[in-house]
Amino acid sequence: MYRRRKLRSGDVIFIVLVFISFSFVICRVTYPLKIIKTLVYRVTYQNLNLTSRAFRLVHIFTDIVKSTIHMYHDNVAYKQKNQELINNLNNYIEMSKEYNDLLSFLKLGKIRNVKSVFAEISVIEPNGWYRCFIINKGKSDGLYNELPVLVFNSKNNTLYPVGKIIETYDTSSKVVMITNSIHTLPVEIKTSGINCLAEGCNSNLLKIKYIPCSADVKLGDEIIVSRLSTIFQKGIPVGTVINITDSKFMDFKTAVAEVYFEKIAFFRVIVFVPHTEK
């Protein structure tokens, strides 16, 4: 009797919970639900971030011990490096002065600088490697929505586009990746200079759409960011073509490209923030 009652209450709770989550799904674009989502995010992220920091304290402690041991050797190397930097700085100050003089002489405006914010990936979904992730920098670091997020490949000193910021909170931001099916990136085929669109497939591949049938596209062609992109800088390498679908009954060709960042195990990303002069 007791077990049956317990089962019945379990069924009632199940129906209530499914109804609540179903209503969340139905009202997914409404304002109250966005508030609920932000509330859940803020509470869970802050709580988990604090716990994560507590775990990382152990890691920091071992780092301190290691750094104490290597301190002497590092000091010698830093002294040499410091001297080199001082020399470079002197050159830089002279060059900067010369540059400013030339600008004022030619009556030209200063080139807009871009601030790089280095962020660590704090949260990534287990099945969402190609969909979205959360970084540990937010509004307090000057980030806002629609900023480009890139990853640095130290092997060939190249930056690869990874995604853009879609939600910004005080100390964290959500990044949607270029491989997410909801993301589209204007790209250019480097060899032929044709502009087309790269759609994400929730995998390491991008579907390159709207390639004219007359275009000469070959396997292995490099895909770069197009000048039509309003988020990324023109010319940043994105990936390589690995497959081309061509049919005489279709107006456009479709290609499949593999993204470059797939080959790097990245835990840190760079966000480019346009520097605003005060």
32 near another protein, judged by CB under 8 A: no
Task: Return all residues near 111 (Cβ < 8 A) that are at least 6 apart.
Answer: none
- Name the residue nearer to another protein (CB basis): 108 or 265: 265
Q: Closest Cα partner for 210 from 231, 228, 232, 186?
A: 186
Taking the CB of residue 249, how many other CB atoms lie within 10 A of it? 4
- Candidate list 117, 124, 231, 270; residue touching another protein; CB under 8 A: 124
- Compare residues 26 and 85 and give the one whose CB is closer to another protein: 26
Interactions with another protein, residue window 12-31 (CB under 8 A) = 13-14, 17-18, 20-25, 28
Q: Based on the shown chain and the rule CB under 8 A, indicate whether residue 132 belongs to the binding site for another protein.
A: yes
Give yes or no for residue 243 binding another protein (CB under 8 A): no
Q: With beta carbons less than 8 A apart as the criterion, state whether 261 and 162 touch.
A: yes
Residue 160 has which token pair?
Answer: 């690869």
Q: Report phi then psi at 206, rounded to 5.
A: -120, 140
Using CB under 8 A, pick the residue from 197, 201, 231, 273 that binds another protein: 201
* Cβ 171 vs Cβ 137: under 8 Å: yes
**What does the per-residue mask of binding to another protein show for 49-88, with x meaning CB under 8 A?**
--xx--x---------------------------------
270 binds another protein (CB under 8 A): no
**Contact with another protein (CB under 8 A): which of 74, 94, 125, 216?**
125
Among positions 202-241, residues that touch another protein (CB under 8 A) are 202-203
174 part of the interface to another protein, by CB under 8 A: yes
Amino acid identity at 234: K
* Selected binder of another protein within 77, 128, 245, 274 (CB under 8 A): 128
**Residue 59: CB minimum distance to another protein, A:** 11
Task: State the Rg of the chain over Cα.
Answer: 25
Task: Examine residue 118 and tell whether it contacts another protein (CB under 8 A).
Answer: no
Query: Which residue type sits at 152?
Result: F
Token pair in block for residue 232:
């990324």
Q: Which two tokens stand for residue 5?
A: 């009652």
Say if CB 79 and CB 85 are below 8 A apart: no
Place of tokens 């780092």: 63
**Spatial distance between the Cα atoms of 273 and 184, rounded to a whole number of angstroms:** 21
Residues lying near another protein in the complex (CB under 8 A): 6-7, 9-11, 13-14, 17-18, 20-25, 28, 33, 36-37, 40-41, 44-45, 47-48, 51-52, 55, 121-132, 134, 166, 174, 176, 180-182, 201-203, 267
